[in-house]
Amino acid sequence: MSISFEEALAKVNGSESFKKIQQLYPNIGFEQEILGNPELGEQIRSACSNQQLTIEDPRKVSDAPKLDEDFSKYFVINNLPICDADKSKKLIQLLIKLYQKKEITFSEADITMPLNEQGMTEGVAFFLASSEEKAKLAAAIMNNYQFDKKHLLSASQINDFEKIMQAKDLASGPKSSSLIDLRDPMLDTKREQFLFQLSKDVHIKWHQIHEQTSSRNVIENVLQSDRPVLWSPKGTYLIVIKHDKVEFHGGKEMQPIITIPEPKVENVSMSPCEKFVLTYAPTQKSPYVVWDFQLVEQIRDFDQKTGESFQTYQWSHDGQYLAKKFIQEIKKEGSDEVEKEKRGLSVYKLPGMELIATDEGVKKSITVDGIEDWAWAPHKNIIVYSCFPSDDNQHPRIGFLEIPSRRTTIKTFASSKRFVLYFHPQGDYLAVMNEYQQKKTTKYSVELFDTKKNSFPHQQILVNRDVLEFTAIIWEPNHSKMAVHTLSKRIVEAGKKDYTLDAKRNGVDIYEMIDDPIKGFITRTIGFLPSEKVTKFSFSGSGDIFTVFEQEPKNASVSFYMILKQQPENVGPAQPVTKKGLSSQVNKLQSTEEKYEFKKTAKQDIYETKFEDVWDQTGRYLAIYGVKRSPLDKTVKSLKFYNIFGEALGSYDQLQNLQQFKWRPRPQGVLKQKDITKLKSEYKTKFLKKFKEEEKSEKKEVNNVVKESKKKIRDEFLSKFFMPLRKEFEEQIDKYEQLWPIKEKDMHSQEVEIEIIYAFDSVLRETKIN
Amino acid sequence: MQPIYLTGHSRPVRKVMFNFDGDMLFTCSDDGKVCMYNSYDQSRVGVFNVNQAVKSIDVSKDTKYLLASSTTEGYQIFDCMTGQLISKIAIPRSSIQVKHVEFALGDQQFLVVYEHAKRSYIRIQDTASALKGQTNPDGVFEVEGPQDHLITQASWGPLNQTLYIATNKGKFYIHDLSSSKTIVEEDVHNSEIFSFNVTYDHTMLITCSKDGTAKLLHPRSLEVVRLFNFVKPCRAACISPLFDSQENQKFHVLLAGGQDARDVTTSKASEGGFEIKLMNIIYNQSLAEILGHFGTVHTLAISPDGINFVSGSEDGYVHFHKFLPEYFTKKFE
């Protein structure tokens, strides 16, 4: 493919097209380009030889060679001291040294410091790191670094830089933002952020226990959004949907960082890795569009099919795949009758958005006969589905489909009528509500699977109550407890009379999963919490704490419970057992004797007719807020916070048009399991003291504020109200005493007995008796 | 701590009070009896038989005379030491209802609030003339109450020169006795003022009302200084006498009440509101709730030393409480 310049020029020269090219690019000589890049020469040549009069910019032709636009390894440092060329070398050496301290190595060749016309630097240095992660890290280190007295450095990746430039155009005044800035809210471990939306106004606030210490507002001004706003899965961005675009706000100031120019979007879902975005604009021709988030490029769009909604498409836990269920009707030729239905799952791999390939390399969707319900596992690339095959000889089943290997594990259940899948929030377990027919009666069972293990060990819990209504299965986040909320027929115990007329009884069964080397895992019953009017049940993520919502005729209430382990009284101190086998047996026996107790810590009334409850991600705080009964409901709602013991912390009242409330999510899985265990073991020695001291000083500060405000109130009360009146009285005391000796000492003295009042062995008062 | 239950009465208790020294406790009830207790060992010292529902009582400052109202007749004066009836005075009007009696400071006079033909009257009489009995109506004069309002309670103002008057429609008056004119008139509450309590030095005045609030008023201008929310109808309030104590000064008030007696059987136990609330006056904070009564609490009294307090209720019981030693620590400021 080598061609000499003369040849190329000779072929091109004189033709009209070449003149046109020269007009288009008057500054380019073309000699070097054609020699240096034979492909480009070929391009021009073929274009010219075809006598095409419409000449496109060769860089824009679809098959044109692309420039390396990947700047991910680069980052830039701004606001360095300005110096001449000689000194700049010293500066580079200094920077290398600085990075060596942080164990990041750069050579001189990796650093470029551009000079201007006067031969001076412009205070900017470009760095090339060995990898993207290194670049991120190195930029983060140097950002906001006090280089010397005058120079505060700012650093960012080139990619981020583009984002920042975009943000600056939109925001008023110069503001800086960087990766650290984006992650800013996560660095505050004590306070949680939340938002609530009043019609179009979005308020973002801090949740803190002590109100006085600092401002509660995250940002001063109020954001505007036409539709309900969302947090991104890791909480980095706030997704604001406007009528002509979708904005992603982030950073300390909540500026728009990235904008997707898609009009009339109704819903947005971001992949859990925050790299891809799916938008849904139902009025557009292709309503479903998958975007590359960082480049703001469309990857693929989908048409609307009947029966599909925004929830049809689901991201996998790491954002690697997007899946949907499809139902294809195969019609007989020539007639409209539906002969057969083909059902299955389509799984697309990102970033290409192509169907995943089979072992043979054929890109195909996965056919699952009679699929009903399906879900991604929250921790692995596994799809769990329930299906009722059309073939009567096959039993209903639950399938575990591994992606991309398509390896399927199937568990069948005879005579099942309905399945509902409930995944543990961390994906440790899967519970399936199984409604089945047994001798003309409908019965319920809970099928449990340990999804951590590859073989999916299975356990069954039979709900042996006369269940009228199966409300839900609730998992405890971060732990392995599960609650089954049912409405069942009342069972009157023998020898006890039933005084209530209501034959139904709500209740919650609580179970715990325990790892077992033989069976995979076993279940243990913790207890049954009978409650007549329980409407809702929720677990806190902090462990062993749950809340029960009860509806009474006039108002609702929430009760906070703690699960306490009750040690059997007769078990003495553990006796040393010599044989190993024996000791394990003893342990087992003890474990079966363990009893649990539900301790009610608090009960709070809720004055809302309809409400929602949300625990924050750490499980430390519960928020309860009022929900509109109908779209036209214009009454004011309230938002209240409680801690795990049920103490009311704070509230917002008089919220007109409250649309939604959301805690800001925190990124999960930042630390590896090893680091977490290490942190846990080091917590007591390293951090406990520090945290306690911080807490103490904070408390002190708050107390001081409270004390001062109290003192002010007291002084005002005394000086403005009480003391003037008292003074008046004291001035007139002679007149009063003429009428009656008011003070005891004024009475004429007599010999008296003394009566001493004791309370708890201490003298309270000595009194004279006449 | 568990209170001491004083079961001297078989009908709702209308008023409990300590005498000026604080060594005697008097309670009266609808069953026509007035009981006198020793406030140190809570033993009953004496019973005065009135044979009519007793809505109100008062004891002279030297604890010599007991003045008790006899609802449909008038009022009676007893000798506290012997228990003898000294004089029995009937008000010369038909179909009356005596609501309140009170001695003035110095015991020279006393007032009686009564109702006749839907009008209220305050009758003021010299103690000396009353002791002579029915025959001699010397030194008696009457103040006619406002139209359309019924007086629920009247008390003596500073130096016996004025009267505080509360009515069943939420109005509060200050009436000057020398000029017999109303000086200040204020709509304090939305509905009936059940009772009010004034400190002996006339610095603080608390009214409590059916609308579920109690209000601390400026005793001269009747300006509202603090508003206490009791939610349920508030029937009694009592300011702790420790407000001028040297050692542990406390601006505390006890509030009590609860739903009407007729609603008790038709609503839940938790809706009663029969708890006695201890509140801080300055910060308007609830400090404690004292449970125990199962009927509307009509009356409260704190002993002059501020250590004990007594409550009387619709259920016929009088509860004698002692403040715990913890109350006198910094926690309850």
> pLDDT of A320-365, one tens digit each?
888 888 887 777 666 666 667 788 888 888 878 888 887 777 788 8
Chain B partners within 8 Å of A755 (Cβ) = 40
Chain B partners within 8 Å of A729 (Cβ) = 158, 201-203
* B50-187 shares the fold of B1-42+202-333: yes
Tell if the CB–CB gap between B61 and A764 is shorter than 8 Å.
no
Name the band, by pLDDT with cuts 50, 70 and 90, for residue A88: confident
Name the band, by pLDDT with cuts 50, 70 and 90, for residue A574: very low
> pLDDT of A97-108, one tens digit each?
877 777 777 777
Query: What kind and span of H or E run contains A585?
Result: helix A580-593
Query: Quick check: B283 contacting A, CB < 8 Å?
Result: yes
Kindly tell me if the per-residue pLDDT of B5 is higher than 90.
Answer: yes
C-beta separation of B127 from B120 below 8 A:
no
Burial of residue B135, with CB atoms counted within 10 A of its CB: 0-12 exposed, 13-18 middle, 19 or more buried: exposed
> pLDDT of A509-544, one tens digit each?
888 888 888 887 888 888 887 777 788 888 888 878
Minimum Cα–Cα distance from A761: chain B residue: B325
The three state secondary structure string of A231-265 is ECCCCCCEEEECCCCEEEEECCCCEEEEEECCCCC
| Bigger pLDDT: A270 vs A138 | A270
Q: Which amino acid is at A347?
A: V
Query: Quick check: B225 contacting A, CB < 8 Å?
Result: yes
Which of helix, strand or coil describes residue A295?
coil
Cα dist from B103 to A272, A316, A690, B19, B26, whole Å: 80, 85, 65, 12, 15
> Any idea what the Cα angle at residue A592 is, between residues A591 and A595, rounded to 5°?
85
Kindly tell me if the per-residue pLDDT of A306 is higher than 80.
Answer: no
Which of helix, strand or coil describes residue A399?
strand
| Bigger pLDDT: B86 vs A62 | B86
> pLDDT of A216-261, one tens digit each?
777 777 788 888 888 888 888 888 888 888 888 887 777 788 888 8
Topology adopted by domain B50-187: Methylamine Dehydrogenase; Chain H (2.130.10)
Distance from CA of B33 to the nearest CA of A (A): 26
The CB density around residue A618, as the number of other CB atoms within 10 Å, is 15
Instruction: State residue A66's pLDDT score.
Output: 63
Tell if the CB–CB gap between A736 and B40 is shorter than 8 Å.
no
Q: How large is the average pLDDT for residues A410-422?
A: 86
C-beta separation of A447 from A462 below 8 A:
no
> pLDDT of B155-182, one tens digit each?
999 989 999 999 999 999 999 999 988 9
Chain B partners within 8 Å of A757 (Cβ) = 40, 307
User: From the list A713, A729, A760, which residue is nearest B282 (CB)?
Assistant: A713
Burial of residue B74, with CB atoms counted within 10 A of its CB: 0-12 exposed, 13-18 middle, 19 or more buried: buried
Among the residue ranges A398-402, B93-97, B246-250, the one predicted with the least confidence is B246-250
Q: How large is the average pLDDT for residues B234-263?
A: 89
Which of helix, strand or coil describes residue B258?
coil
Which of helix, strand or coil describes residue A427?
coil
Residues in B 94-123 with any Cβ partner in A closer than 8 A = 105-108
Query: Quick check: B160 contacting A, CB < 8 Å?
Result: yes
Kindly tell me if the per-residue pLDDT of A65 is higher than 80.
Answer: no
Percentage of chain A with pLDDT > 90?
A: 1
Chain A partners within 8 Å of B202 (Cβ) = 725, 729
Interface of A with B (CB under 8 A): 710, 713-714, 717, 721-722, 725-726, 729, 732, 735-736, 739-740, 742, 755, 757, 759-760, 762, 764-765, 767, 769-770
C-beta separation of A286 from A311 below 8 A:
no
Alpha-carbon distance of A367 to A342, in angstroms, equals 7
Query: Quick check: B40 contacting A, CB < 8 Å?
Result: yes
Nearest residue to B114 via CA among B126, B105, B123? B123
Kindly tell me if the per-residue pLDDT of A172 is higher than 60.
Answer: no
> pLDDT of B98-121, one tens digit each?
999 999 988 888 999 999 888 999
Tell if the CB–CB gap between B202 and A729 is shorter than 8 Å.
yes
Instruction: State residue A542's pLDDT score.
Output: 80
> pLDDT of A182-225, one tens digit each?
776 667 777 788 888 888 888 888 887 666 545 577 777 778 88
Instruction: State residue A579's pLDDT score.
Output: 45
> What mean pLDDT is reported for chain A?
77
Among the residue ranges A264-268, B55-59, B269-273, the one predicted with the least confidence is B269-273
Distance from CA of B53 to the nearest CA of A (A): 31
Distance from CA of B183 to the nearest CA of A (A): 18
Nearest residue to B57 via CA among B255, B298, B331? B298
Nearest residue to A276 via CA among A376, A182, A349, A347? A349
Chain A partners within 8 Å of B281 (Cβ) = 717
Tell if the CB–CB gap between B203 and A729 is shorter than 8 Å.
yes
Q: How large is the average pLDDT for residues B187-210?
A: 92
The pairing of strands A658-663 and B33-38 is unpaired
Distance from CA of A287 to the nearest CA of B (A): 55
Burial of residue A764, with CB atoms counted within 10 A of its CB: 0-12 exposed, 13-18 middle, 19 or more buried: middle
Among the residue ranges A444-453, A531-540, A614-623, the one predicted with the least confidence is A531-540
Alpha-carbon distance of A736 to A726, in angstroms, equals 13
Name the band, by pLDDT with cuts 50, 70 and 90, for residue B78: very high
Tell if the CB–CB gap between A732 and B158 is shorter than 8 Å.
yes
Tell if the CB–CB gap between B40 and A710 is shorter than 8 Å.
no
Kindly tell me if the per-residue pLDDT of B57 is higher than 90.
Answer: yes
**Best to test chain A binding among B201, B217, B218, B268 (most A CBs inside 10 Å):** B201
Chain B partners within 8 Å of A770 (Cβ) = 21, 23
Nearest residue to A127 via CA among A105, A100, A102? A105
Tell if the CB–CB gap between A721 and B225 is shorter than 8 Å.
yes
C-beta separation of A468 from A488 below 8 A:
yes
The pair of structure tokens assigned to B48 is 């005065």
Cα-Cα-Cα-Cα dihedral of A247, A251, A252, A256, to 10°?
Answer: -20
Alpha-carbon distance of B229 to B237, in angstroms, equals 12
The pair of structure tokens assigned to A192 is 């949680």
Task: Delimit the domains of chain A by residue range.
Answer: 5-60, 74-182, 320-412, 674-762
Kindly tell me if the per-residue pLDDT of A453 is higher than 50.
Answer: yes
Torsions phi, psi for A334 (to 5 deg): 85, -10
Which of helix, strand or coil describes residue A292?
strand
Q: How many residues does chain B have?
A: 333
Alpha-carbon distance of B187 to B194, in angstroms, equals 14
Percentage of chain B with pLDDT > 90?
A: 56
Distance from CA of B121 to the nearest CA of A (A): 26
Q: How large is the average pLDDT for residues B71-100?
A: 90
Alpha-carbon distance of A76 to A154, in angstroms, equals 8
Topology adopted by domain B1-42+202-333: Methylamine Dehydrogenase; Chain H (2.130.10)
Chain B partners within 8 Å of A762 (Cβ) = 325
Tell if the CB–CB gap between B201 and A717 is shorter than 8 Å.
no
Which of helix, strand or coil describes residue A77?
strand
Among the residue ranges A78-82, B14-18, B219-223, B304-308, the one predicted with the least confidence is A78-82
Tell if the CB–CB gap between B307 and A735 is shorter than 8 Å.
no
Q: Examine residue A81 and say whether the peptide bond preceding it is cis (omega within 30 degrees of 0).
A: no
Instruction: State residue A26's pLDDT score.
Output: 65
| Bigger pLDDT: A57 vs B280 | B280
Q: Which residues of B292-310 are buried (b: 16+ CB within 10 A; e: fewer)?
A: bbebbbbbbbbbbbbbbbb
Tell if the CB–CB gap between B61 and A757 is shorter than 8 Å.
no
Query: Quick check: B21 contacting A, CB < 8 Å?
Result: yes
Tell if the CB–CB gap between A735 and B159 is shorter than 8 Å.
yes
Among the residue ranges A48-57, A141-150, A709-718, B139-148, the one predicted with the least confidence is A48-57
DSSP readout, B54-121? ---EEE-TTS-EEEEEETTTEEEEEETTT--EEEEEE-SSSSEEEEEEEEPTTSSEEEEEEEETTEEE
Query: Quick check: B23 contacting A, CB < 8 Å?
Result: yes
Distance from CA of A725 to the nearest CA of B (A): 5
Instruction: State residue B136's pLDDT score.
Output: 64
DSSP readout, A706-724? HHHHHHHHHHHHIIIIIHH
Task: Delimit the domains of chain B by residue range.
Answer: 1-42+202-333, 50-187
Q: How large is the average pLDDT for residues A68-79?
A: 75
Alpha-carbon distance of A555 to A594, in angstroms, equals 37
Tell if the CB–CB gap between A722 and B322 is shorter than 8 Å.
no
Alpha-carbon distance of B15 to B195, in angstroms, equals 11
Chain A partners within 8 Å of B324 (Cβ) = 759
Instruction: State residue B141's pLDDT score.
Output: 85
The pair of structure tokens assigned to B134 is 């029915």
> What mean pLDDT is reported for chain B?
90
Counting one residue from chain A and one from chain B, the pairs whose CB atoms sit within 8 A come to: 61
**Best to test chain B binding among A604, A605, A706, A717 (most B CBs inside 10 Å):** A717
Name the band, by pLDDT with cuts 50, 70 and 90, for residue A16: low
Name the band, by pLDDT with cuts 50, 70 and 90, for residue A578: very low
ipTM greater than 0.95, yes or no?
no
Tell if the CB–CB gap between B282 and A714 is shorter than 8 Å.
yes
Torsions phi, psi for B65 (to 5 deg): -115, 145
Tell if the CB–CB gap between B325 and A760 is shorter than 8 Å.
yes
Which of the listed ranges A476-485, B139-148, B278-287 does the model predict with the highest average pLDDT?
Answer: B278-287
Chain A partners within 8 Å of B23 (Cβ) = 767, 769-770
Cα dist from B328 to A38, A456, A710, B21, whole Å: 98, 64, 19, 21
Tell if the CB–CB gap between B202 and A770 is shorter than 8 Å.
no
| Bigger pLDDT: A522 vs A755 | A522
Distance from CA of A540 to the nearest CA of B (A): 29
Tell if the CB–CB gap between A722 and B23 is shorter than 8 Å.
no
Distance from CA of A505 to the nearest CA of B (A): 21
Distance from CA of B282 to the nearest CA of A (A): 6
Topology adopted by domain A74-182: Alpha-Beta Plaits (3.30.70)
Q: What percentage of chain B's residues is helix, strand, coil (to nearest 5)?
A: 10, 50, 45
Among the residue ranges A532-536, A685-689, B83-87, B210-214, the one predicted with the least confidence is A532-536
